[in-house]
Amino acid sequence: MAVKTVATKPIEGQKPGTSGLRKQTRVFMEPGYLENFVQSIFDAIGGLQGKTLTLGGDGRYFNKRAIQIILKMAAANGAARALVGQNGILSTPAASAVIRARKTDGGLILSASHNPAGEDGDFGLKYNIPAGGPAPEAVTEAIYRHSREIREYHILEAADLDLSTCREVQQGPMTVEIIDPVTIYADLMRKLFDFDAIRALFAGGFSMRFDAMHAVTGPYARAILEGELGAPESTVINAAPLPDFGGGHPDPNPVYAKPLFDLMMGPDAPDFGAASDGDGDRNMILGRGAYVTPSDSLAVLAANARLAPGYAAGLKGIARSMPTSRAADRVAAKLGIPAFETPTGWKFFGNLLDAGKATLCGEESAGTGSDHVREKDGLWAVLLWLNIIARRGESVQEILNAHWADYGRDYYSRHDYEGVDKAAAEALVADLRARLTELPGQTFAGLTVAAADDFSYNDPVDGSTSSGQGLRLFFAENARAVLRLSGTGTVGATLRVYLERFEDDPGKLALDAQDALAPVTAAVEEITGLKSRLGRDGPDVRT
Ligand code: VG1
Ligand code: CO
């Protein structure tokens, strides 16, 4: 078995975005594309000599092939050991759990999360650091730098390995440990939550539907919800991970998880509904006739976390991404703990979690998590909700109503304009940025701009600064709008418009969210003229 050193040239555009490098699958499959990026990662982290890597992905098309290539490259680069999920599968939170439990020198996660899969879909790859979280910006920049200077990569000339059974095998000098993808993750969940209380809930007839959307969470949800907690076998639907996710778009929101959403709003709704995204790190929470916005979910979980054994000692702090509503801040204030506001992307939570400054984190995009791993964790959020429901003995809607009565309600919605012309979207954002200083004091659609800025974050732990993270418009009427461009897409551009308005009049806590936000939506339109500039009548997705 010989190590082959292959001469190569830099490939343009290997710049990681919000969450790793995402490209069309066909781009990733071009000769040398994956190899260049993987070698750039290895070079950027000081080589692999003697190191142990965790490796797995969401099972999408090209996952199997890519794992074999990465294993041969890791061996050729001197790695001592690789821990690989059986059949190359690991959900993103499970990969983070494995990196931490087995103290590996980081890991590679093969996923483009919610982006559609298949040969005509997208593929992605990201490096997670030894703490278990996504590489911070300094590391992703180093990877990008190496990708622009790369001259050669190393790969073992060897046969592919059979990854279908859990065992140890050799790939040349490197030991490959094929592990059950669920075990380490399930062990962790058992420590955090009151499984007995949840078991009793299901035994009492509580009904639930979990839509795994043919992506990676199916095996995890089956093993934990049905296997361990006794939920009936029909609980997890679309449970088999498929290379093309069944042709679907596993983004857990009312549009892309419509069948589940409709079921939960209909006459035959079970007590509880949840859906997960492609790589298992995000979640949508539904009750009978109730949709929980991700921002509210974070706030409710924070307010009730002590009901779960893993959080009984209380929370150290709560962190949310900037576009996430301020509902979580209100909980932090009441608990007397710090609240942090970070840029979009889980990588910004890592330092706060490592430093013990925050225990719970969340994003408006349906990502919630805690210091148990360094990724957002979809099934974790579902289990915490179940734990809270079991202990409070109330429905999702009752829990929401009680929360709003206590704290007031942050009406919230995100409007996505997907696949729009990139130049038009960039110009819209640039023009608005240029007008930020002149907006305060002006009134649009009845709302007065109190302040406007381009969000910049100073990391309180390492002192680094990340600027240009989203345009914020604060209105005097206790409302806010944020505009930013997505950093996970692969074609065109996606403009995200985040809208929120606070309401604490007890008589106005049950409005339709879009109605409650109509003035903010109208103000944004008046300020930006985005519909005509983007040539759209309205957003593709409202969450
Ligand atoms: C989106 C979400 C962001 C999330 C990111 C990765 O990014 O808005 O909150 O962290 O996806 O999540 P963007 O740049 O497209 O807005 V996942 O589940 O795709 O790894
Ligand atoms: Co994801």
For residue 247, the model assigns a pLDDT of: 87
What does the angle CA 245 – CA 247 – CA 248 come to, to the nearest 5 degrees? Answer: 75
**533 to each of 423, 499, 523, how far by Cα in Å?**
11, 19, 15
Domains 3-180 and 185-407 share a fold: yes
Report the nearest atom of ligand 1 relative to the CA of 20.
Answer: 20
Taking alpha carbons only, the member of 348, 473, 482, 490 closest to residue 414 is: 482
179, amino acid identity: I
In which band, very low, low, confident or very high, does the pLDDT at 491 lie, cut at 50, 70 and 90? confident
From the candidate CATH numbers 3.40.120.10, 3.40.50.300, 3.40.250.10, 3.10.20.90, the one assigned to the domain spanning 185-407: 3.40.120.10
**Per-residue pLDDT tens over the stretch 5-45:** 999 999 999 999 888 999 999 999 999 999 999 999 999 99
Run of H or E including 85: strand 81-89
CA of 344 to the centre of ligand 1 (A): 7
Q: Which residues are catalytic?
A: 113
- Using an 8 Å Cβ cutoff, are 299 and 403 in contact? yes
Ligand 1 centroid – CA 332 distance (Å): 24
Using one digit for the tens of pLDDT, what is the confidence trace for 185-238? 999 999 999 999 999 999 999 999 999 999 999 999 999 999 999 999 999 999
Instruction: Determine how β-strand 360-363 pairs with β-strand 236-237.
Output: unpaired
Nearest CA to ligand 1 atom 4: 345
Mutation choice for ligand 1 from 365, 373, 412, 455, CB with most ligand atoms inside 8 A:
365
Structural domain boundaries in the chain: 3-180, 185-407, 409-542
Ligand at minimal distance from the CA of 486 is 1
**C-alpha 397 chain-centroid distance:** 25
**Secondary structure (3-state) at 292:** strand
Q: Are strands 168-171 and 174-179 parallel, antiparallel or unpaired?
A: antiparallel
Annotation: CATH topology of 3-180: Alpha-D-Glucose-1,6-Bisphosphate; Chain A, domain 3 (3.40.120)
First CA to last CA across the chain, in angstroms? 52
- Whole-number Å distance, alpha carbon 449 to ligand 2 midpoint, is 34
**Residue whose CA lies nearest to ligand 1 atom number 13:** 486
Q: For residue 408, what pLDDT band results from cuts at 50, 70 and 90?
A: very high
Tell me the chain's radius of gyration from C-alpha atoms.
23
User: From start to end of 434-475, where are the E strands?
Assistant: 443-444, 447-454, 457-458, 465-466, 471-475
pLDDT digits (tens, 9 = 90+) for 44-101: 999 999 999 999 999 999 999 999 999 999 999 999 999 999 999 999 999 999 999 9
State the burial class of residue 279 (Cβ atoms within 10 Å of its Cβ: 0-12, 13-18, 19+).
buried
pLDDT tier for residue 350 given thresholds of 50, 70 and 90: very high
pLDDT of residue 18: 84
Query: How far apart are the CA of 114 and the centre of ligand 1, in A?
Result: 9
Nearest C-alpha to atom 11 of ligand 1 is from which residue?
A: 488
Nearest to 358 by CA among 319, 312, 412, 401: 319
Q: Report which bound ligand comes closest to the CA of 416.
A: 1
The Cα 448–Cα 441 span in angstroms is 6
Taking the C-alpha atoms of residue 454 and residue 452, their distance in angstroms, rounded to an integer, is 7
Instruction: List residues near ligand 1 (CB under 6 A).
Output: 18-19, 113-114, 277, 281-282, 321, 344-346, 363, 365, 367, 486-488, 496
pTM here is 0.94
Write the class of the CATH domain 409-542: alpha beta
Ligand nearest to the CA of residue 368, numbered in listed order: 1
Closest CA to 175 of 296, 245, 82, 110: 82
- The confidence score (pLDDT) of residue 19 equals 87
- Span from the CA of 114 to the centroid of ligand 2 (angstroms): 6
**Residues with Cβ–ion distance below 5 A, ligand 2:** 113, 277, 279, 281-282
